[in-house]
Structure 1
Amino acid sequence: MPATLLPRRLGLADAILIGLGAMIGAGVFVAFAPAARAAGEWLPAALVVAAGVAYCNATSSARLAARYPQAGGTYVYGRERLGAFWGYLAGWGFVVGKTASCAAMALTVGAYAWPAHARSVAMVVVVALTVLNRWGVQKAAWVNRVIVAVVLAVLALVVAVSLTRDRNPFGGAEPGSAIGVRGVLEAAGLLFFAFAGYARITTLGEEVRDPARTIPRAVPIALAITLAVYTLVGWALLARLGPADLAASSAPLADAVPDLAWVVRIGATLAAAGALLALILGVSRTVLAMARDRHLPTVLAAVHPRHGVPHQAELAVGAVVVALVAVADLRGVIGFSSFAVLTYYAIANASAWTLGRRVVPILGLIGCVTLAVCLPIESVAAGAAVLAVGTVVYAVRRR
C-alpha cells in the first residue's frame, strides 16, 4: 500500500459532474464532423455502436473501481488482475494518449477564445488549470459544476434553434456513397473519443467517498446523460446541415446557428476548458500510481500535505502539456487518442473478465479491438508505435 493516500472528498454529484465535464467537453464540439465524413447519414448508427462499447467499458471499469478504489484506474486493475506488464501498458497508453488530448483541448480553448493567439491562450489556460488543481480536488469539482451547467445550456439552445429551422440543402457530394460497415465502425471509433471521459471518475477512485457504492452509480449515470446529449446534438446537426455539410464543417455547431455563433464560441471555450480540467485530474492520478510503483520517477508520487493532491504529478503533466501545445497540431489527435484509450479499455475488460459475469467484459473487449483496428490507418500506426515504445522501455527497465 502507498504511504500517503489521497483524502476522500468527492461525493456522487461531484463524480457525475467530473465525468460529464470530461465527456461533453472532449467530444461534442470536435468529434461529429470527422465521424460524419466516415459514416455520412449513418452517423446515428455509429453513435449507438460507440455508446454500446462505452457502456461495456464503463460497466467493467465500475466493477473494478469498486474492488480497487485506488488512484490510477486501469493501470491498477491490469496490474492486480493480469500482471505488472498489462497494468503498465494500460497506464502508458492512458498517460501518452490523454496528455495529447490535454494539448488538443487547450488548443481548442485558444482557437475559440482568441484565434489569432491560440497557442499563447492555450498555454495560459494550462497553467491556470494546473494551479487550480493544486488547490484541491473539491475546488476543481466546483469549477467543473459551473462549466457543465453553462455548456449544457448552450447545447440546449443550439438543439432547439436547429430543430425549429429549415434544413440546409446538401452541399457537394454526399459522404458515404460507398459507406458500409467499415465506415460506421471507423466513425464509432472516432466518436468513442467523445465518450472516454468517464475514465476520469475511476482514476479518481481514491478520492471518492464510499467508492464501492458511488463509482458504480456515477459512471452509468454520467454515460447515460452524455449519450442523451450527444443523440440530441447529432440529430439536430444532421437535421440542420445534412451529412455532407456536417462532414465538411470545421465548426458544425456554429454553422448550424450562425447568428448565435458567439454563444457557441463561449460554450466551446468553456467545454474544452472543462475537459482539460478533468483530463489533468485523471492523467496526474495515473502518473501518481505509476510513480508509486517506480515506473515513473518516485518524486511524482508526492501528495501535498495541506491540499491532499498529487502536486508534483500535476506540475509534471502541466509542464508536458505546455510543451506539446507549443508544437502540436489538432489534426489526427482524435484518432490517436481513441486508439490509445481503446487499448486502455481493452485491458480493463480483460481485467474485469477475471472477476466473473463475463458477457459484458467479452463484448467490451471485442468492441475495443474492433473499433481500434477500424480507425484511420495513420492513427493505428501512430498508436501502435507509441505502445511499442512503451513496451521497449518496460523491457529495458526490467533487464
Structure 2
Amino acid sequence: MSEHRPPNPRGVPDELRRRLGAGDAVLVGLGAMIGAGIFAALAPAARAAGPALLPALALAAVVAYCNATSSARLAARYPASGGSYVYGRERLGEFWGHLAGWAFVVGKTASCAAMALTVGSYVWPAHAHAVAVAAVAALTALSCAGVRKAAWLTRAVVAFVLAVLAVVVAALTSPAADANRLAPGGDLTGGGLLQAAGLLFFAFAGYARIATLGEEVRDPERTIPRAVRLALVLTLAVYAAVAAAVLLVLGPGRLAAAGAPLADAARAAGAGWLTPAVRAGAAVAALGSLLALVLGVSRTTLAMARDRHLPSRLAAVHPRTGVPHRAELAVGAVVAVVAATADVRGAIGFSSFGVLVYYAVANASAWTLAPDEGRPPRLVPVVGLAGCLALAFALPLSSVAAGAAVLAVGAAVYALRRRARG
C-alpha cells in the first residue's frame, strides 16, 4: 500500500546500523517503562480507581501485553525505524501511517518535556526549567554520540532505579515497619477503573521504544518479540510489588492525596531516611525515560522524513556514529524550548490520547497480517484495539478534546501535503 521511499537527493546516508543485541533491547524497554511514572502515576490512578488500583494496573497490563505482542510481530516483519508509523503505512495505507507517526511525535515530544521538568523539580525545584533544559541538552548530545553509548547509560539507570524500588518495597513491607506505620486513610469509591488504567498504561508504554529502534537491533525477527515480552513481564512484576506495598501503608485514600507517593509511604512506615534515595531515584528514572523518549521520537522523525512527511533534511544518518543526528538535534531543540517556557502538565492528557491512538493503529495493522507473516492470535489485536480506544475515551474530556484537535491538525497537514504533491 505504501509508496517507495523517495531517493535521497543529497547522497547523505540514511540507513542505521544494527548494533543492539537482545540484552540491549530489553534494557531500552525497561529504561522507558521503569521510569518516572511509578513515582508519580500511582496517586492520580488511586484518585480515579480508589481501592481498585491493582485491578486497574492489571487491566493496563493486559492492554499493554496485546499492544506489545502486535507491535513485536509487526516489528519483526518490518524491522525499520518508525514503529507504528511504518506498520500503519505498510498495512493500512499512507494516511494511517502518517496519523500514527504524527500522534507519536507530537505526543511524545510533550512527554519528553514533562520528563525533563520532572528531573528539574527533583534536582533543583527553584530552577526546574533551567535544569530541564540542561538535561535535554546533555541527553541529546549523548544520544548523538551513538546508540550503544545511550544503551550503556540506560543499563546504569535501570540498575539504580530497580535498586531504589527494591529497598523501598522491602522497607514498606518489613515487620520492623509495622510499629511505625500510620493507619491507612479511608478507602475511596473508585468508579474510574478505565481512567485509572489509562493513566497507568503509560507506565508500560516504553516497549514501543524497542520497536522504534528495530533498524538498529541484530536479528530483529527473533530479538524484538522476545525483548518486548521480557521487558513487559519484568516491568509488571516491579509495578505490582511497588503498588501493593504503597497501598499496604497508605491505603487508597491517603495514596490519592499523596504528592510524592513513595516518599510519603516511606515516612508513614517510619522509614523517612529513604526520602533522599526516593528523590534521587525519581530524578534518575526521569532521565532514563527522557533518554528513551528522545531515541524513540527521533527514529520516528527519521522515518517520516524519509517519506517526506517531515522535512527531508531530517532523514540523514551520521556516517561515523550511525545515528539520525539531525532528527535527534531537532527533537532536542523543540523539547528544550517547551521545557524552558511551559508547564507541560496540561499537555500530558493529549499526549496520552495520542499514544493510545498510535497503539490502536498498531493493533489494526497486526489484524491484517497473514498466518505466514507471523500473525498473532486473532484475539490479541482485537483486545488491544478495543482496549486502546476504551482507555483513550475514558480520559478526562479536556484530554480527549485536545488529543482529537492534535490529530485533526495532523490530518490537515497530510491533506495539504497531498495537494501540494499533486
Normalised to the residue count of structure 1, the TM-score between the two structures is 0.97
Q: 2:391 aligns with which of 359, 371, 374?
A: 371
2:163 pairs with 1:149: no
Aligned to 1:237: 246
Q: 1:27, 1:296 → 2: CA distance?
A: 30
Kept in 2, the 8 Å contact 1:284–1:313? The answer is: yes
Aligned to 2:374: none
Aligned position for 1:362: 382
Matches within 5 A, 1:220-231: 220-231=229-240
What is the aligned counterpart of 1:315 among 329, 333, 336? 329
- The answer for the alignment partner of 1:198 in structure 2 is 207
Alignment CA distance shift 1:21-1:249 (3 Å): same
Which letter does structure 2 place at the counterpart of 1:371? L
Determine if the alignment matches structure 1 residue 109 to structure 2 residue 119: yes
| Structure 2 counterpart of 1:252 | 261
Using the aligned pairs only, state the percent identity: 70
Give deviations 1:114-145, integer Å, cap 9, x for gaps. 11111100100000000000110000000110
1:333 CA displacement: 4.1
Distance 1:362 1:155 in 2: 34
Q: How far 1:169 moved relative to its partner?
A: 2.3
Quote the residue 1:76 is aligned against.
86
Q: Report the Cα offset of residue 5 of structure 1.
A: 1.2
Q: Does 1:285 pair with 2:299?
A: yes
* CA apart distance, 1:149: 0.1
Q: Does 2:389 align with 1:389?
A: no
Q: Distance in 1 between matches of 2:131 and 2:243?
A: 29
Shift of 1:317: 0.3
Match of 1:51 among 56, 61, 69: 61
Distance (Å, rounded) in 2 between the aligned partners of 1:306 and 1:26: 33
Separation of aligned partners in 2, 1:188 and 1:334: 15
- Which residue of the other structure, out of 283, 286, 297, is the alignment partner of 2:311? 297
SS at match of 1:70: coil
The residue type equivalent to 1:345 in the other structure is Y
The RMSD of aligned alpha carbons is 1.2
Distance 1:328 1:29 in 2: 22
- State the Cα distance separating 1:240 from its structure 2 match: 1.0
Do the aligned partners of 2:110 and 2:348 also contact (CA within 8 Å) in 1?
no
2:150 to 140, 143, 162: 140
The alpha carbon displacement at 1:202 in A equals 0.1
In the alignment, the residues of structure 1 paired with residue 348 and residue 58 of structure 2 have an alpha-carbon distance, to the nearest angstrom, of 18
| Alpha-carbon shift at residue 330 of structure 1 (Å) | 4.4
The residue identity in structure 2 corresponding to 1:250 is G
Consecutive unaligned residues in structure 2, runs of 5 or more: 8-12, 371-376
- Deviation, structure 1 residue 26: 4.1
How many residues align? The count is 394
Residue pair 2:184, 2:249 contacting (<8 A) in 1 also = no
Distance in 1 separating the partners of 2:148 and 2:214? 14
Task: Give the conservation status (yes or no) of the 8 Å contact 1:292–1:301.
Answer: yes
Please list every run of at least 4 consecutive aligned residues from structure 1 whose deviation after the TM superposition is greater than 6 angstroms.
Answer: none
Alignment of 1:130 with 2:150, yes or no, is: no
Residues 1:175 and 2:175 aligned together: no
8 Å CA contact 1:185–1:371 kept in 2: the answer is yes
Residue 34 of structure 2 aligns to a residue whose secondary structure is helix
Equivalent-residue separation in structure 1 for 2:75 and 2:85 (angstroms): 11
Q: Is the 8 A contact 2:116 2:132 kept in 1?
A: yes
* Counterpart-to-counterpart distance in 2, 1:383 and 1:341: 10
Deviation larger for 243-252 or 289-298: 243-252
Q: Compute the displacement of 1:245 (Å).
A: 1.1
TM-score under structure 2 length normalisation:
0.91
Q: Which has the larger radius of gyration?
A: 2
Go from structure 1 to structure 2 and tell me whether the alpha carbon gap of 1:379 and 1:325 turns closer, same or farther (over 3 Å shift): same
Question: Contact (CA 8 Å) 1:190, 1:335: kept in 2 or not?
Answer: no
